Chains A and B, each alone.
Chain A
Amino acid sequence: MPIQVLMPALSPTMEKGNLAKWLKKEGEPIKSGDVIAEIETDKATMEVEATDEGTLGKILIPEGTADVAVNTPIAMILADGENAADLVKAPAPAAKAAESAPPAEAKAEAPQPKAAPHPTAPTSVSEPEPEVPEGTEFVTQTIREALRDAMAEEMRRDPDVFIMGEEVAEYQGAYKVTQGLLQEFGARRVIDTPITEHGFAGVGVGAAMTGLKPIVEFMTFNFAMQAIDQIINSAAKTLYMSGGQMGCSIVFRGPNGAAARVAAQHSQDYSAWYSQIPGLKVIAPFSAADYKGLLKAAIRDPNPVIFLENEVLYGHTGEVPKLDDYVVPIGKARVVRQGKDVTIVSWSMGMTYALKAAEELAKEGIEAEVIDLRTLRPMDTETIIASVQKTGRAVTVEEGWQQSGVGAEVAARIMEHAFDYLDAPVARVSGKDVPMPYAANLEKLALPSVAEVIAAAKAVSYR
């Protein structure tokens, strides 16, 4: 029986990639370990090695094919003694192989971008900012590119800005966010650090105390727990403890929250942790334009800023205004979708659930107003309250845990400022109160889902 070679994933969050090149021809013998093809994503290029011996019987996906879904059969290998005639016995190349992988119940729920790509999510938030002049041209960019451009622009603008972190320079970024920066700015300003989060966070803060403006990249915010003492005790508190003499303008950035299938130590949302700390500003954008405009604002801000990115979103695209200097103000939420019936408040990855749910709710005649907080500290209470005064109902959506979470804070503020407008208690949709499990089905259950957002919106609407 011929063996199928499947499109491999380069990372837990990869959904598709390009088949760049075939290094073996049909009919060529193959040994286990032979490189048979090259695949690439916007992040990296990888060689595909054969794991079986035989002959390359048939190439199913020709080289140069873009956007091949992970797990799609790309070739057939014939074992010894088999010939081309045997190919027909093999299962028909299933174009939908990628979608058949997740368990059925998870698919029905379809909350995961991996299982169900959200083409609407990134684009639906790409409406022009009110501050973007009419007639502005837009470019379609991945969030990864938007972040890189934001850093490059700020580094061109201010020689005191530099970036340091693990693999940011020669490797071009563990998630390829810093691609090209070393080439443009050199090793003095794009600095590879040893694996030493506590130490380099402290070095960054010390440099910032002298007036430099470091961008400290954490490979993920999970690793920043090693450095959290320097972030909170040194970065956030020094301005106050010095009576205003000495602060630090520094950005701590990197992916935050659940990636996919990386289990509890690598899947945690730190939104609530950092947003509790006076002295820090905390930003967690969703759209590509906001990633760019808010990172530029963060780099210019004279205070320590926590910039929470999301690995799953890095490859998502959006429309970014083509302006010389597109800066989005910190501390302003955005009404991404207008509605009169229920307010849904979220940010970052939570927005994918919120927007999808809003679409579904609209089909049932419930018009949800969706607010992207964008900045968690300082929080734009005004925008939330104005919306709740209109709708009388609110649902918060976050990947983090519920206890002492950002949703709890939003609910408290609504209670404090719009109690008389509420027609129902505020509902919270959140990550479940467990460490993130590894198994695919359990992981889906642990995360919020579109279905949960819909159910919560209906519950507060008594429908």
Chain B
Amino acid sequence: MAAPKKSVVAKESGQEKANGSPPEFTKAQELAALRDMLLIRRFEEKAGQLYGMGAIGGFCHLYIGQEAVVVGMQMALKPGDQVITGYRDHGHMLACGMSANGVMAELTGRRGGYSKGKGGSMHMFSLEKHFYGGHGIVGAQVSLGTGLAFANRYRGNDNVTLAYFGDGAANQGQVYESFNMAELWKLPVVYVIENNRYAMGTSVSRASAQSDFSKRGASFNIPGKQADGMDVRAVKAAADEAVAWCRGGNGPFILEMQTYRYRGHSMSDPAKYRTRDEVEKVRHESDPIEQVRNRLLAAKVSEDELKKIDAEVREIVNASADFAQHDPEPDPSELWTDVYR
């Protein structure tokens, strides 16, 4: 991974030290981050397995490698803040606190899934956790997320919306329509661009005239910042700054999270557009989970304590896989429900 560049426009960026190393986490924060990232990693590995077994159908976009982004971002939120994202959404849902059972059962198309089996991998929602999807049309969530922020402003509350999208979606027209309105109306929305370097099979350099995504709001005067999306501490620091900016009524903020996905675009992608070496290099040098684990070990946290977290996470994931394979399919009568209220 390239070292994170310095803040582009953002003010009050004192959180980032001159050498680029982000502020330290407390031990409790490190442990919480490790647990949440591990949950996503193990969940996604299990989803990959179930897909391979034919238990999950259709599209299945795994989040493995990008875990630090949602976990770090979530640490900056307060109750009532909304999250919306695109189709690579399992990690976001788990980070929001949605249940692994509900997400996995949706992947297998069962009645206990978040959408009663009618939405699938890309279309899940939780009003309770303020998670607004899960959207399958690339870029659509950016305008929708801007609308969530609009609602916050309309209601006069101080909640903030995180609208996540990728380096690929960043080239959609409605993203810029949304940027314009968000800045014009000073809407409290953080646009989190998860730059995992590939829009399906097209690398950023082949698709983006301006590959510094933090500058994508420049013509609308939206401040932007790049952060090392593989380091959960850097993510949290950038998130704190961006969320505070939005909550303070200053309008939108753009965060480019420099991250990487280890798996293909979807389960059916052989990922021939990059070398195995490239993937291995990131895994070995920048893995978000290993970074935290190493820091905890260096801080004399025992292997046993870490193993306990591992075991707890595996149990949740195994239980969700079990639930998702044994929960009944939706009743046929569900075909006709939820079309209208």
Q: Contact residues of A with B, CB < 8 Å?
A: 162, 188, 193-194, 196, 198-212, 229-230, 233-234, 238-247, 278-279, 281, 302-303
B140–A202 CB distance below 8 A: yes
B177–A200 CB distance below 8 A: yes
Which residues of chain B have C-beta atoms less than 8 A from A203's C-beta?
Answer: 143-144, 146-147, 150, 178, 181
B125–A202 CB distance below 8 A: no
B180 an interface residue at 8 Å Cβ cutoff? yes
Which residues of chain A have C-beta atoms less than 8 A from B127's C-beta?
Answer: 245-246
What distance in Å separates the Cβ of B293 from its nearest Cβ neighbour in chain A? Answer: 36
Most chain B C-beta atoms within 10 Å of own C-beta, residue among A203, A229, A246, A279: A203
Which residues of chain B have C-beta atoms less than 8 A from A229's C-beta?
Answer: 137, 140
Mark interface residues in B128-147 (1 if CB within 8 Å of A CB, else 0): 00001111110010111111
B154–A207 CB distance below 8 A: yes
Please give me the residue from chain A that is nearest to B143 by CB atom.
Answer: A202
Which residues of chain A have C-beta atoms less than 8 A from B133's C-beta?
Answer: 238, 241-242, 246
Please give me the residue from chain B that is nearest to A304 by CB atom.
Answer: B340
**Which of A162, A194, A278 is in CB contact (< 8 Å) with B154?**
A162
What distance in Å separates the Cβ of B217 from its nearest Cβ neighbour in chain A? Answer: 14
**Which of B143, B149, B340 is in CB contact (< 8 Å) with A230?**
B143
B181–A199 CB distance below 8 A: yes
User: CA–CA, A288 to B147, complex, Å?
Assistant: 32
B171 an interface residue at 8 Å Cβ cutoff? no
Interface size class of B (residues with CB under 8 A): 35 or more
**Which of A209, A234, A239, A240 is in CB contact (< 8 Å) with B140?**
A234
What distance in Å separates the Cβ of A210 from its nearest Cβ neighbour in chain B? Answer: 4
A239–B146 CB distance below 8 A: no
User: CA–CA, A188 to B184, complex, Å?
Assistant: 13
B143–A206 CB distance below 8 A: yes
User: CA–CA, A245 to B102, complex, Å?
Assistant: 14
Please give me the residue from chain B that is nearest to A235 by CB atom.
Answer: B144
A188–B178 CB distance below 8 A: no
B337–A244 CB distance below 8 A: yes
- Supply 15 further A-B pairs (C-beta < 8 A) apart from A196-B180, A199-B174, A241-B133: A188-B154, A202-B147, A206-B144, A206-B145, A206-B147, A208-B147, A212-B154, A230-B143, A233-B140, A234-B140, A239-B339, A242-B133, A245-B125, A245-B126, A246-B125
Which residues of chain A have C-beta atoms less than 8 A from B118's C-beta?
Answer: 240-241, 243
Which residues of chain B have C-beta atoms less than 8 A from A238's C-beta?
Answer: 125, 133
Please give me the residue from chain A that is nearest to B187 by CB atom.
Answer: A203
* Interchain residue pairs A-B with the least CB separation, the first 10: A206-B147, A202-B143, A199-B177, A243-B116, A206-B144, A244-B338, A243-B115, A203-B147, A241-B123, A210-B151
What distance in Å separates the Cβ of A220 from its nearest Cβ neighbour in chain B? Answer: 18
Which residues of chain B have C-beta atoms less than 8 A from A212's C-beta?
Answer: 151, 154
User: CA–CA, A207 to B341, complex, Å?
Assistant: 18
B341–A198 CB distance below 8 A: no
Please give me the residue from chain A that is nearest to B120 by CB atom.
Answer: A241
Which residues of chain B have C-beta atoms less than 8 A from A205's C-beta?
Answer: 143-144, 147
A233–B144 CB distance below 8 A: no
B148–A278 CB distance below 8 A: no
B119 an interface residue at 8 Å Cβ cutoff? yes
B341–A302 CB distance below 8 A: yes
* Given A208-B147, A210-B148, A245-B115, A200:B181 Cβ within 8 A: yes
**Which of A194, A209, A211 is in CB contact (< 8 Å) with B144?**
A209
Q: Contact residues of B with A, CB < 8 Å?
A: 82, 84, 113-119, 123-127, 132-137, 140, 142-151, 154, 173-174, 177-178, 180-181, 184, 337-341
A243–B114 CB distance below 8 A: yes
User: CA–CA, A239 to B118, complex, Å?
Assistant: 10
What distance in Å separates the Cβ of B112 from its nearest Cβ neighbour in chain A? Answer: 10
**Which of B119, B137, B154, B177 is in CB contact (< 8 Å) with A233?**
B137
What distance in Å separates the Cβ of A305 from its nearest Cβ neighbour in chain B? Answer: 11
Please give me the residue from chain A that is nearest to B152 by CB atom.
Answer: A210
Most chain B C-beta atoms within 10 Å of own C-beta, residue among A196, A205, A233: A196
A303–B341 CB distance below 8 A: yes
What distance in Å separates the Cβ of B55 from its nearest Cβ neighbour in chain A? Answer: 19
What distance in Å separates the Cβ of B111 from its nearest Cβ neighbour in chain A? Answer: 9
**Which of A201, A206, A241, A303 is in CB contact (< 8 Å) with B340?**
A303
What distance in Å separates the Cβ of A228 from its nearest Cβ neighbour in chain B? Answer: 11
A198–B143 CB distance below 8 A: yes
* Given A193-B181, A209-B132, A233-B140, A243:B150 Cβ within 8 A: no
What distance in Å separates the Cβ of A61 from its nearest Cβ neighbour in chain B? Answer: 45
B148–A243 CB distance below 8 A: no
B174–A242 CB distance below 8 A: no
What distance in Å separates the Cβ of A23 from its nearest Cβ neighbour in chain B? Answer: 38
> What are 7 A-B interface contacts by the 8 Å CB criterion?
A162-B154, A188-B154, A196-B180, A200-B177, A203-B144, A206-B146, A207-B147
Which residues of chain B have C-beta atoms less than 8 A from A234's C-beta?
Answer: 135, 137, 140, 144
B338–A199 CB distance below 8 A: no
What distance in Å separates the Cβ of B171 from its nearest Cβ neighbour in chain A? Answer: 14
User: CA–CA, A189 to B104, complex, Å?
Assistant: 41
Please give me the residue from chain B that is nearest to A191 by CB atom.
Answer: B185
Which residues of chain B have C-beta atoms less than 8 A from A233's C-beta?
Answer: 136-137, 140
What distance in Å separates the Cβ of B134 from its nearest Cβ neighbour in chain A? Answer: 8
Most chain B C-beta atoms within 10 Å of own C-beta, residue among A229, A233, A242: A242
* Given A194-B181, A204-B147, A229-B140, A242:B115 Cβ within 8 A: yes
What distance in Å separates the Cβ of A159 from its nearest Cβ neighbour in chain B? Answer: 10
What distance in Å separates the Cβ of B306 from its nearest Cβ neighbour in chain A? Answer: 36
A242–B150 CB distance below 8 A: no
Which residues of chain A have C-beta atoms less than 8 A from B338's C-beta?
Answer: 239-240, 242-244
Please give me the residue from chain A that is nearest to B147 by CB atom.
Answer: A206
Please give me the residue from chain B that is nearest to A196 by CB atom.
Answer: B177
Please give me the residue from chain B that is nearest to A303 by CB atom.
Answer: B340
User: CA–CA, A185 to B134, complex, Å?
Assistant: 34
Which residues of chain A have C-beta atoms less than 8 A from B177's C-beta?
Answer: 194, 196, 198-200
B119–A242 CB distance below 8 A: yes
